[in-house]
Amino acid sequence: MKKFVSLILIMSFYTVFSQSFAYSLDNSSSVNKNTGWDGINTYHEYLYFSAYVLPVSESHRLQEALDTYKIVRLEKGVYTSNPIVMKQGQRLYGYPTITKLNTTVTIKAGSTKIRILNMEIKDLIFEPGALISDNYFKTLRFTPLSCTNCTMENNTFVNIDRSSLRFDCSSAGYFRNNKFIRVWSHTRSPQTVMKGNSTTPSYGNVVLWRNYLFASGDATQFDNLKSLTLVGVDAESWNYRNEGSKALLHMRKMGDVRIGGFSGLNHGKYPTPTYDIEAKNLTIFGKDIYSKSKNDIVRPGTNVMMLSGRHEAYSFDNTSSSLNFMAYYNDRDLFMNSKKVTSTLSSSYDGRMEDMLIDQNVKTWDRPYFGKIPNPVSAARMSARSGKKDQSAQIQRLIDRDGIAELEEGIYYISKPLVITEGQGIIGKGSGKTAVVGIKDDFALIHATNNTDQGKGSIQIHLAHMTLQGGKTGLYVSPLKGSSKRLQLSACTFKNLIFRNQKNGMHFDRFYGVDNNFFDKISFVDCQIGVFQEPDPNFDVYKGETNSMMYMDKNVFFKCQIIRCGIGFSMLAKRPNNLNAWIDCKFDGNGIAVDMEKAINPIFANCDFKNNRGEYIVGRDNASSFYNCNFSGNRAQGIFKLRKAYIEGCNFSDNAPLFSHPTGEGFIMNSTSSGGLGTMKHGILVNNTFRNDKELNFLVLELQDRRLRKIVDRKSNPKPQYLVTKK
């Protein structure tokens, strides 16, 4: 009888809990305090740790648990059950290192507010029928996503890892205004299929950070979409096994296509072009991808706006009904329909270019919301830490025994580094409830390395749900002394971590590389440097790769906060870094926010830069891209110390020049600024408002050797066009 009453009470709690929480958006700033959240952990951590836990041994009860409790948390391991159907408001959380589910999960037609996180699922299928909307899918690994004739709108997909996307609405249904943030595919073919129809059109979908790796044949099939935006596309060796024949981006019967930050290289034996596109309007904003194949292809009837690019030319079958405006492509010249532009264009082009460039029927993405950063270790506790009991050996025994030490709530004081290697790590009970604190500040709290010279070169480590405070460094990574292996961090778990009061939050010290990692809600507070990349100072790129060159490629920092650090990110590479991104991040009260050298296609999207005080905010590098970023309250000599910048949909509220590098080249679209161009010497300005320089407020302008030339003589009316949803 007592067991029965207890079960009823548990079921009642989870029913109330699910009703209160299941319908609140993950990005919402409003939280229902009646649910019992105490505010110590972050809101998302509270949801995770409060969920009903279904043990691996009860895999067969998964559907029953979801239907009963609505919010279910799985343990580490492999779950096997009958196919699952997820419905309105249900949530399924895997273990931070990814829980494997050996079955199909179907998202029920008509469902909203479903959440799935940290899972590897056999197949994730979206059921055709009623509208599937406002759902959130994050950190899905090796999970094919598919829908056939489904109806989907306003769903968010984040960190879709080594997975394929197949959305085929060619017969019925649609997918509209969905966000795909960090999608990585490897070897499969095709890696993306998106097909719409003309009766119920698909539009407004945005893919932000997309990595196509070694597609065995054709990488993509895009067909009959009214609009599509791709930002931060990188590819390596598509059609690697010669199983296809199409270009990397193959598009037919498209409407408005916008591509920004297009980079990569095909170094395989069977190259095809980088794109073959048939669309109403095509805008490419920064192309730096090399196919080693024949020219790229723009199909007849497509209007083209090509702003800054290089490598292969593109063929263009010009007709009387289409435009081909090409600016700074392999040189600093401008062309309209193959004729060099030397003066203001004829007014016959004005309306057509304005219609192509500006869609007023869009809504800019919401600004990221940042809750209060947990602070479990008070100043009084920090000042009294020298007399605390040393718990280093206790935690190390857990690591050595279990691989991943699971720490309960509490503050753990240590006097020496906790050493982790392949498959090992530490997971706490929340960044506000578990803390590891250095008794002194002369050592690294966690030291990650390869285990033996015979071990794996590429390793995974796992750190989640805790605060790391004090010590010299929070996480220090270096190779095993004398090892001939190339130590590489890849596909690691970095989730809900806070680094406080350290010289370096993370220090990557002279090993091979940090490649394809997702840094999820990491905060660096009051550190001299948040992330420190330290390459071998003697590395020579012309002599080839070495074990100590220390590169960082294809890493995404998502919803991270960098607060009151001397330098947020110090990434002064010797071997170039490729396609690192900061998405929905906040840089507040730092010196220099990001200090980079030798970076290829770094991207900052929907980030806030506030109250920074360095010589510059982002800089000393070749080029960077900024989309929907806001700058306010900063005091710097210049916003960017960059040779080149791609800027779209940004707001610069500070009365500071954009560029401080002596040879700045800029491509600025749909942005507003209270400062001037600074040292920008060359570039193209498209539809911007400079509050203190009315000469810059026209639809298209060119700057050549600091001489301004009006290309399209229409007043500007800026509105972001890339990170938007369609109304």
Q: Looking at residue 379, what is its pLDDT?
A: 93
User: Considering only CA atoms, which of 515, 517, 528, 474 is closest in space to residue 495?
Assistant: 517
pLDDT higher than 80, residue 310? yes
Question: Are the C-beta atoms of 225 and 200 separated by less than 8 Å?
Answer: no
pLDDT at 468 > cutoff 70: yes
- Any residues with CB less than 8 A from the CB of 281 and at least 6 apart, and which? 255, 256, 257, 302, 303, 305, 356
Total domains in the fold of the chain: 3
Q: Kindly give the interhelix angle for 2-21 and 62-69, rounded to the nearest 10 degrees.
A: 70
Q: Nearest 5 degrees, angle CA 675-CA 676-CA 679?
A: 130
Tell whether 130 and 205 lie within a shared domain.
no
Q: What gap in Å lies between CA 641 and CA 325, rounded to an integer?
A: 29
pLDDT tens digit string along 498-511? 999 999 999 999 99
> 3-class DSSP state for residue 142?
coil
Strands (E), 266-368: 275-290, 296-298, 303-309, 314-316, 324-329, 334-336, 339-340, 362-364
Buried b (16+ CB within 10 A) or exposed e, 567-581: bbbbbbbbbebbbbb
Q: For the segment 82-140, what is each residue's pLDDT rounded down to a tens digit?
A: 999 999 999 999 999 999 999 999 999 999 999 999 999 999 999 999 999 999 999 99
- Residue 22 in domain: yes
* Residues 253 and 311 occupy one common structural domain: yes
Q: Are residues 137 and 159 in the same domain?
A: no
Mark which of 558, 579, 610 sits at the end of a domain. 558
Whether 236 and 136 share a structural domain = no
Chain position carrying tokens 């007709």: 319
SS3 599: strand
Residues 271 and 241 grouped into a single domain: yes
pLDDT digits (tens, 9 = 90+) for 668-724: 999 999 999 999 999 999 999 999 999 999 999 999 999 999 999 999 999 999 999
Calculate mean pLDDT across residues 226-252. 96
Query: Which residue bears the tokens 């009903």?
Result: 52
Are 309 and 169 contained in the same domain? yes
Asked, for residue 436, whether it belongs to a domain, the answer is yes
3-state secondary structure (DSSP) of residue 332: coil
Identify whether 655 is part of a domain: no
End of a domain among 143, 176, 205?
143
Structure tokens at 716: 């500007």
The pLDDT score that the predictor gives to residue 387 is: 87
> For the whole model, what pTM was predicted?
0.95
In a domain, 659, yes or no: no
Domain boundary among 322, 342, 362: 342
- For residue 316, the model assigns a pLDDT of 80
pLDDT at 161 over 80: yes
In a domain, 607, yes or no: no
**Residue 190: cis peptide before it, omega within 30 degrees of 0:** yes
Which domain, by its residues, includes 96? Answer: 1-143
